[in-house]
Structure 1
């Protein structure tokens, strides 16, 4: 028996965000652990970003450069567990739950520095790990040139 409430609207997806382009603002909040993931998922945000900024905000680095793929996997998995726990707990709805706030935010993970600089295949493998092992639904790339 599923405990997920039938009144919970569907999860946010990349196509659902794309359909809103130019019409409604998109809200993306950052989370780095299960507690933050649960809170942000219940806030009504459209997406949760597990950013490589975890290196500076949580891991004590001076920049994001030392953040590894394993760091990103660990924190992405934690946020995904927080989302899953919130959705499984239909007996205790979030205190500010509304129709917009009841659905599951899109989980986006940063691909850390150097994960795709050597070659495209290495970057694809790293991105696939964030999805398969980390629970990310989308992977964010950034760089100074074409990627």
Structure 2
């Protein structure tokens, strides 16, 4: 699936391998990426999954949110990252309104898979359940995303922890079960209280990947620029600057992989009660 300019055999991570890792209790690693050079560094460190996130709107394009990112933007960056990967499984974010209808989602997701992705990520539940089902029925793997969903920033009134009261927590648990039933193969939980994320993880059979969701998930994801300390303004509590300790970009990525797998990261101070 992935381009290999140097030639030779490739051994890409597969969805069954991610499911087996969950069953074996091996923590999964994910980083965002937007170009071939960083993709090679991430791949060399043994990261399991790579996400071309709509976070590129903020960390690459300089926007104030993810909303301006287009299907063409994601498609371009997926093609760049795919050329740098031989091992990690590549996910593509479905940008704002690209999954508003089943037809639009099928068109965008097909473009992303043709560009080199192996899975697409969809924010939310509700009517998105039908979108997830439609894609999965057409052999397009889906990663769901619940909790803080950045494409909902206008409705949420900012980037806030989700699921803190009992009603919201119960609704998120129901949504998590629903996206799994719709066919999602993985679930990202963002800015969710650690006890709730652990409860959701226990309730599902698919891997959960946390960001600001505590250590109880099956894996962890960070935005590449955040974990390298390349962030303007206040750093969220769930972010760790791995470059400060790693000594180099390659060392920082390797430290992230090591600390996620041995349970050092995230620590209690990186989560929410």
Partner of 1:12: 13
1:109 aligns with 2:96: no
Post-superposition CA distance 1:96-131 (Å, at most 9, x none) = xxxxxxxx01011101010011x1121111101100
Answering whether residue 78 of structure 2 is matched by residue 120 of structure 1, we say no
How far is the alpha carbon of 1:144 from its aligned partner? 5.5
CA distance, structure 1, for counterparts of residue 14 and residue 96 of structure 2: 25
TM-score where L is the length of structure 1: 0.77
Q: What's the secondary structure of 1:40's corresponding residue?
A: helix
Separation (CA, whole Å) in 2 of partners of 1:146 and 1:21: 28
- Report the RMSD for the aligned CA atoms in angstroms: 1.7
Greater fraction of residues in helix: 2
Aligned twin of 1:136? 117
Q: How does 1:43-82 map to 2 (within 5 A)?
A: 43-82=45-84
Counterpart-to-counterpart distance in 1, 2:19 and 2:127:
22
The whole-number CA distance in structure 2 between the counterparts of 1:29 and 1:146 is 28
The one of the two structures with greater contact order (alpha-carbon pairs below 8 A, sep at least 6) is 1
SS at match of 1:126: helix
Name the SS of the counterpart of 1:81 in structure 2.
Answer: helix
Question: What is the CA deviation profile of residues 11-53 of structure 1, one whole-angstrom value per residue up to 9, with x for unaligned ones?
Answer: 2011110122241111011111111111111111001111000
Q: In structure 1, what is the Cα distance between the partners aligned to 2:127 and 2:97?
A: 14
Tell me, yes or no, if structure 1 residue 33 matches structure 2 residue 15: no
Q: Which structure has the larger Rg?
A: 2
- Other structure's SS at 1:27 match: strand
Deviation at 1:79, TM superposition (A): 0.5
Deviation at 1:146, TM superposition (A): 4.2
Q: Distance in 1 between matches of 2:62 and 2:124?
A: 23
Q: For structure 2, list consecutive stretches of 5 or more residues without a partner in the other structure.
A: 1-5, 129-273
Q: Aligned residues, how many?
A: 122
Any gaps of 5 or more consecutive residues in structure 1? 88-103
Deviations 1:46-81 (A, max 9, x none): 011110000000001110000000000111111011
